[in-house]
Structure 1
Amino acid sequence: MATKIISGHFQTLLGHLIPSPKLEIIGEKHIIELADGDRLVGFLYKGTSDILVSLYHGLSGDIEADYMQRTAIQYLAMGHSVFLVNHRGAGAGAGLAQNPYHSGRAEDVSEVVRYLRELQPTKKQITAGFSMSGNIILYLLSGQRGEHLPDGAITVNAPINLSSCADLLARGFNRAYDLRFVRRIVQQKALNISPWTTLTQIDDLYTAPRSGFKDRHEYYQTCSSKPHVHKIQKPACVLTAEDDPFIPVQDYREAPWSSSVELKIHPWGGHLGYLSAKKNRLGNHRWLDEYMVESLQNLICRL
């Protein structure tokens, strides 16, 4: 087992501060039309295998996120095709969507799956989601808001209970993460809202009403994947950390996971950190990178 580096907060912060490699070329740009008229932007990197992996970023991020870039590099080195997806209005998709993305946009992932099946009909599709996108993918696999499913999935630090995550973000040091999310959302969406607003207020004032929900409580209750994960039939690898600062590990222990899900609760890692004192088999100190490679190999064997 890899050796732990200090606390969950330290893992979370240092994991994003340490420089990461970036893709050296820009992939083939694709614009995907959604049912409501909004558009998504993704970038395709072609490999030689029969596997196509689509990667989805977390809240307030885009495809330039360090974990997205590193994972894409690893999968391309394995010979697989990779499709990096910006959620509505994120990254290169700025200005192409009127409606916000949120933790329950399973219909968007479903549409990407459909699009990629037409584009690459002979390839098996794996969908991988980090943080918020992990919940979206589990929500989709549970049969919510989408009919086109990937052949398998990987999720990392997914907020499967949106209400409990929002509560934790509002407490103590976690308020620093909350402010970062809010400031980036306000900037990304060009909202006329104070950057000192809380994420729950953003959800009440903007995300919920713009997405057809009465309020944030209805949004959280409707879009949390936790009550539905017993319905998952596609093979999935699910990872979280006991010391994630704002995703309660208890939700993972209580969730009614189906037998198709391989759940790993790592004793440390923070939120998307997973730094190890010892180098892994990939030659770096990022245990998460090794997990992403091994879980993909696991899924391919189960297809």
Structure 2
Amino acid sequence: MSLDPARFRPPAPLRNAHVQSVLASSRFRKIFTRRVAADLIAGAQELILDGGEGVRLQGFLTLQNHLPQARGLAVLVHGWEGSVDSSYILATGARLLDAGFDVFRLHLRDHGDTHALNRDLFHSCRIDEVVAAVGNLARRVPHRALCVAGYSLGGNFALRVALRAPAADLGLRHVAAVCPVISPRAGLEAIEAAPWFYQHYFMHKWGRSLRRKQAIFPDAFHFSASELRAGVRGLTRALVDRYTEFDSLDAYLDGYSVAGDRLAGLQVPASILTAADDPVIPVEDFRTLSLPPQVRLSIAPWGGHCGFLAGLRLDGLAEAWVTEQLAEACPAD
């Protein structure tokens, strides 16, 4: 039966956007998802991909054993300061593996334990290296169909990979994006307006990542204590000014926006899922998108940010929805 996110009705205790968002990244869910994803983790092989111009990106490939031939190769992209072991990535990868996909979990630069792989700092406009890495993966791993799925910032990257796929000759079959960042400017404002613990959560993880980068390349980076306490806007502005080619914070935020009509020319079939109550990605950003006919937008009434938790076992609609979208695009023999 086809999933209809518009009919998603979690139990009453899970109908709060903040409960959904917090539980989605909680230790409780991680315990559950690591059990579900045991085969995905145990069968994983590390690959270092060529991102072009000397860039190296890490990921983990798990080959399916449920079908005589895999439906295709599914590339999963985590969100900002997430990793290949984030609960939503593990849960989605486990579902896709069971459905007969080979699964590759990609680390964006400076995420997970990859800070030493590249000297320059991660920022959200580094799309070229992700496109190149997906192309390198596609050439190295035999597949019938190539798909990409991402969450939050990873969903934004997935959509931008799809935009560049024809020029890069990627041959993408389908892209799925869950709660993707649409307007980075609006997303930044939403984080600032959300309850304090959202910004605290991101700043804690981001600060830890930057301190690790500084420890590995002490001659290249210095992040002062005041900068690390400046909030998402203040720290982003400092890093943009010092370590990127962008003239201003606004120019940087515009550099990875997919708002308005920027997806209108998308040639790859795509599916987008968001929640009306997402506290950090405003639903209005989705309602003003200009989308071509081959792009499907689904808005669930509940779900928070990348939550969509359907029950007390903390299993989610999102991973089932991603699997359904990709399986529909890549039927088994």
TM-score for both structures, normalised by structure 2:
0.82
Which one-letter code corresponds to 1:21 in the other structure? T
Which one-letter code corresponds to 1:38 in the other structure? V
Question: What is the distance in 1 between the residues matched to 2:209 and 2:53?
Answer: 20
Provide structure 2 residue ranges, at least 5 long, that are not aligned to the other structure. 1-6, 215-222
Partner of 1:237: 271
Partner of 2:248: 215
Give secondary structure in 1 for the equivalent of 2:123: coil
2:237 to 174, 183, 204: 204
2:21 to 5, 12, 15: 12
Change (3 A) 1:120 1:277: closer
Residue correspondence of structure 1 range 226-265 to structure 2 within 5 A = 226-227=259-260, 228-265=262-299
Change (3 A) 1:120 1:102: same
Question: What is the distance in 2 between the residues matched to 1:261 and 1:297?
Answer: 16
Query: 1:40-60 CA distances to partner (integer Å, 9 max, x unpaired)?
Result: 101111124140001111001
Change (3 A) 1:116 1:255: same
TM-score for both structures, normalised by structure 1:
0.90
Partner of 1:286: 316
Which one-letter code corresponds to 1:7 in the other structure? N
2:53 to 17, 22, 36: 36
8 A Cα contact 1:3 1:277, kept in partner? no
Deviation, 1:189, is: 2.4
Question: What is the distance in 2 between the residues matched to 1:28 and 1:241?
Answer: 34
Deviation, 1:179, is: 2.1
1:3 to 5, 9, 29: 9
Question: What is the distance in 2 between the residues matched to 1:29 and 1:146?
Answer: 28
Which one-letter code corresponds to 1:69 in the other structure? L
Which one-letter code corresponds to 2:330 in the other structure? I
Change (3 A) 1:32 1:208: farther
Query: 1:22-41 CA distances to partner (integer Å, 9 max, x unpaired)?
Result: 23315111112322323110
1:165 to 187, 194, 205: 187
8 A Cα contact 1:105 1:136, kept in partner? no
Query: 1:154-191 CA distances to partner (integer Å, 9 max, x unpaired)?
Result: 10101110000001111240x32122112211211215
Give secondary structure in 1 for the equivalent of 2:150: strand
8 A Cα contact 1:11 1:271, kept in partner? yes
Give secondary structure in 1 for the equivalent of 2:230: coil
Work out whether 1:272 is the aligned partner of 2:306.
Answer: yes
Give secondary structure in 1 for the equivalent of 2:197: helix
- Select between 111-120 and 250-259 the one with higher mean Cα deviation: 111-120
8 A Cα contact 1:38 1:99, kept in partner? no
Question: What is the distance in 1 between the residues matched to 2:193 and 2:127?
Answer: 29
Question: What is the distance in 2 between the residues matched to 1:98 and 1:207?
Answer: 16
Question: What is the distance in 1 between the residues matched to 2:231 and 2:125?
Answer: 20
2:137 to 99, 113, 116: 116
Query: 1:199-225 CA distances to partner (integer Å, 9 max, x unpaired)?
Result: 112221114642321122101112101
Partner of 1:189: 210
Question: What is the distance in 1 between the residues matched to 2:165 and 2:71?
Answer: 27
Partner of 1:155: 177
Give secondary structure in 1 for the equivalent of 2:297: strand
Number of matched residues?
A: 296
Provide structure 1 residue ranges, at least 5 long, that are not aligned to the other structure. none
Deviation, 1:144, is: 9.0
8 A Cα contact 1:106 1:146, kept in partner? no
Residue correspondence of structure 1 range 22-33 to structure 2 within 5 A = 22=34, 23-24=37-38, 25=42, 27-33=44-50
Deviation, 1:146, is: 6.8
Query: 1:99-146 CA distances to partner (integer Å, 9 max, x unpaired)?
Result: 233333321221122112211244311001110011122123234997
Which one-letter code corresponds to 2:33 in the other structure? P
Which one-letter code corresponds to 2:25 in the other structure? H
RMSD over aligned Cα atoms: 2.2
8 A Cα contact 1:182 1:202, kept in partner? no
8 A Cα contact 2:175 2:271, kept in partner? yes
1:76 to 97, 119, 124: 97
- Select between 252-261 and 107-116 the one with higher mean Cα deviation: 107-116
Change (3 A) 1:263 1:2: closer
Question: What is the distance in 1 between the residues matched to 2:151 and 2:299?
Answer: 15
Question: What is the distance in 2 between the residues matched to 1:208 and 1:64?
Answer: 31
Larger relative contact order (CA 8 Å, sep ≥ 6): 2
8 A Cα contact 1:104 1:139, kept in partner? no
Give secondary structure in 1 for the equivalent of 2:168: coil
